Structure formats: structure tokens, C-alpha cells
Structure 1
Amino acid sequence: MGTEAGKLKKTAAAAGVAAFWLLVWQLLAMLIGKDVVLSPPLTVFRTLVRLMGTGEFWLTVGATFLRILFGYGFGAALGLGLGLAAWKSGIVRRLLAPFMSVVRATPVASFIILLLFLARNQWIPVLIAALMVMPLIWANCLKGIEETDRGLLEMGQVFELSRRWQIRHIYGPSVRAFFLPAAVTGLGLAWKAGVAAEVLAAPEHSVGGMLYRAKIYLENPEMLAWTLCVILISLALETLLKRLLQKTNG
């Protein structure tokens, strides 16, 4: 009973916060008084519903989703693999550390502009999503290995437990504790950076391309509707991934 009351309280609080910001949005739109600058919430929601009634909308969202999901998966796998390689070899770690630091410090726009000269437009969002995820997973993978309980490792040596058993039951839980938050954070980064890459690269059937088109033609309601779509999908993906990882971890 207490759990249900707590959930209702959280839901009510979230609804209150959402209502507050919708009111702020509405007041700002009324103050500006120009849809071409800032459209009111109801106009944007109606535009989003209209877009969702078209096949082009779902084709666009699906294409963007697949690009970014592929880039995210590739970046996560690469980060995990390179993290394990860096753990096994100090030389590999010293070679990779500056590269990962540069990737994390470089603005996303710089990578996008560089890739415009090096890759096909369809692949730029994929590569950008991978670049956002890879160093995050790499760093957290190494951190998880370094934070492994030394007492458990010594116990494994004393009882002559196999390397595979130690990796699965000692290293595994420690790495997982750092990997899971990085995976969730990385998904949000990959989604936002991937859409940003689509804005500049404008591949066929892309959310970013639709955002750019709406900006060019001063279609503020449509631009905000696509932005709202990006936000809602990002939140949904992060929530879904959290639950999936919690279920797997549990």
C-alpha cells in the first residue's frame, strides 16, 4: 500500500513539474506573440499528432533510430573491447588514453564537419553516435576492473579458481556496476549527437534533416514538434534501457 502511495506521489509530482513548465512555455509564447518565433504548446502538440498520422514520419523516425542504435551498439562494443585490451596491456592503455581524451574533449560539431569530407552522409550519424559512446564505456570498463575487490581476487588465487570463474564472478559484477550507468548515459549522448549530425549531414529520411528543413522554411511549430519527438524518444529509450539492464542485472 505504501509503495503504491509512493508511486502516486511521484507521478503527481512529475505531472506538477510538467504542468509548471508547460505554463511557462505558454506564457512566453503569449508574451512574444509570434508563432514563427515560439509556438504555444497546444499548436506544437497538434502539429506532432498531425505528423504522426503520416507514413513519412514513421519512416523518418525509424531510419534515425536504426542509424543511432547501430552506432550506439558499435561504440559500446568497441569501448568494451578496447577497455579489456587496455586492462591486459599497459602499452595499449598508454596508447589509447590520449586518443580517448581527445575524443571526449573535441566538440561534436568538429567531428561532424570533419566526417562530411570523409564519409557518406548516411554513415555520419552512425559514426558520431559511436564516437560519443566509445570513450565513456572504455573509461568505465577500466574503472570497474580497477575497483574490483582485491580481497576477492586474493581468495580466488588461494583457492586456485579458474580465470574464467574469476572474470565471471569477481570482475564481472564490479565492471557491471560501472558499465550500466555508462550505457544509459551513453544512449542519451548518442541519440542527441546523432540527431545533431543529421542536421548537418542531412541524410535521406532523418529527423535531423526534418529539423533543418523546418528551420529553413521558418516552420516553428513543425521544428518544435520534431524537437519534442527527439526528447520523448530519448526519454523512452533511456527508461527502457534502465529497466532492461536492471532486469538483466537482477
Structure 2
Amino acid sequence: MKKVLKKGIPVLLWLVIWQLVALIIHNKILLAGPLETVRALISLSGTADFWESIAESTWRILLGFLVGTVLGTGAAYLAYTKEFIRDFLQPFVVTLKSVPVASFVILLLIWFGSKNISVIICAMVVFPILYLSTLEGLLSTDKKLLEMAEVFRMPGGRVIRYIFLPQLKPFFRSAFKLAIGMSFKSGIAAEVIGQPLHTMGNGLYLAKVYLETGELFAWTIVIVLISFICEKILALALGERNDN
């Protein structure tokens, strides 16, 4: 009960502040309150397009997250084993970290169209996060343990399981937390720009076009909740406990 109250009371206070500000502004186009947002969410949830949009966006974003994770960790291992690969990839990784998502989206729309834009963008956003975290974890591995494994001729599978994975686990935790949130941010932004049909980004854009601020907030809440749930599932998969 203490944990529930500790987390629930601040949320309730912010909802009250939100509602008070909405009442003061008294303009649903400029700022819809939580009550209008809940009504909009209930209205949206009664349509098939709403659930189809959630499913379509979520699986594409998670697919991009998976692709970026596999490519990022694989490239990090190659960079760990070969220094020239590390030097070769550095400008590419710096570019992916620095260039705005909008620039990539516009270019990719010209090349591939809008259908799979969120998959590609998410992979591009996740790649440098997982690459840098994995590489840092590999480089910080205790050299004495690796020398011991080499002396005792430990098989590669056991080296990965008993030396590398325990070392990488905290790096993966922080990287995955950051990457999953960035995946949803970048993926939805790509959908808003590219406008693939039956996606959450398309729902956000239509809410903006028709000045439905309540629907805009409703879509935003859904996106935040899905991102939060995915982050918690990843944390559980990595064995993380939350005692706060």
C-alpha cells in the first residue's frame, strides 16, 4: 500500500494541476483536460482502427528495435575483436547519433516509401545505443578472467556465458531502457512525417489536423503506456527487480 500511495499520489496531484490549468485556459483546442482526454480515449477505443493502429505501430517499432539490437551488438563484437573495424564504424555511429530523425525520415521516404519507415528509423536509432553500450562493456571485461579462460582452454560458449554476459548485463539494462523509449519516440515521429495508414503516428496527425486536442493527448498517453510496458517486460527478461 505504501508503494502504491508513494507512486499514485504524485500522479494524482499532476492530474489535478492539469485539470485546473485546463479550466483556467477554458479552451479545449489549446489544452484539453484529463476528463476530455479520458472521454476521447474511450471514444477511440470503441473503433477497430484504434486497435489496428496500436498493433501496427507497436510491432513495427519492436521489429526495428530488434533489428537495431542485433546489428548493434554484432557490430560491437566485431569492433571489439578488430580495432580497424572500430575505427571504420566510428564516423558512421557518430553520424547516426547526431543527424536529426527528421532528416533520415525524409531521405528514407524517397528511397523506400512510408510503409516500413518506422522499422528502419527505429533500427537506426537503436543501433548506436546498443553498439556503444556493448562495446564499452566488452572493453571493460576483466582481462585476467579472459587470460584464465585462455589458459584453461575454456570453450567459446562458456566464455560468453560466464565471463562476457555477466559483464554486459548492467550495460544492456541501461541501453535497453534508453533504446526502447527512443524507439517509440523516433518511430512515432517517423509515422507522423511519413503518414502510413492505420498507425499511431497517423492518429496523432489527424488529431492535429482536426484540432482534436483530447484525441492528441489520448494517443500520447497510449504511446507512453505501451513504451512503459515494453520497458518493464525487457527489465523482467534481464532479471531486473524494482523494489522502490
TM-score normalised to structure 2 length:
0.94
Q: 1:152-182, CA deviations, whole angstroms, 9 ceiling, x for partnerless residues?
A: 1222233232333222211221123312321
1:2-151 matched pairs, under 5 angstroms:
8-151=1-144
Alignment of 1:172 onto 2:165: yes
The runs of 4+ residues in structure 1 deviating greater than 3 Å are none
The number of residues matched between the two structures is 240
Aligned to 2:153: 160
5+ unaligned residues in a row in structure 1: which ranges?
A: 1-7
Give the letter for the 1:72 counterpart.
F
Which of 236, 241, 244 aligns to 2:237? It is: 244
Which of 194, 216, 220 aligns to 1:223? It is: 216
**Identical residues among aligned pairs (%):** 38
CA distance in 2, matches of 1:49, 1:72: 29
Give the letter for the 2:239 counterpart.
Q
CA distance in 1, matches of 2:179, 2:150: 35
> How far 1:225 moved relative to its partner?
0.9
Moved more, 33-42 or 238-247: 238-247
Q: Look up the SS of the partner of 2:8 in the other structure.
A: helix
Give the letter for the 1:226 counterpart.
W
Give the letter for the 2:129 counterpart.
L
Moved more, 49-58 or 161-170: 161-170
Q: Contact between 2:32 and 2:213, CA under 8 Å: does it hold in 1?
A: yes
Moved more, 211-220 or 180-189: 180-189
> How far 1:87 moved relative to its partner?
1.2
Q: 1:22-44, CA deviations, whole angstroms, 9 ceiling, x for partnerless residues?
A: 01111110111000111110110
Aligned to 1:4: none
CA distance in 2, matches of 1:191, 1:221: 20
CA distance in 1, matches of 2:153, 2:121: 44
CA distance in 1, matches of 2:150, 2:201: 53
CA distance in 1, matches of 2:214, 2:130: 37
Give the letter for the 1:91 counterpart.
F
Cα RMSD (Å): 1.3
> How far 1:75 moved relative to its partner?
0.6
5+ unaligned residues in a row in structure 2: which ranges?
A: none
> How far 1:95 moved relative to its partner?
0.6
CA distance in 2, matches of 1:165, 1:41: 53
Q: 1:114-157, CA deviations, whole angstroms, 9 ceiling, x for partnerless residues?
A: 22222210111111111110001011111111111122122223
Give the letter for the 1:234 counterpart.
S
Q: Look up the SS of the partner of 1:66 in the other structure.
A: helix
CA distance in 1, matches of 2:108, 2:151: 52
Q: 1:175-210, CA deviations, whole angstroms, 9 ceiling, x for partnerless residues?
A: 233123212221111011100100000001110011
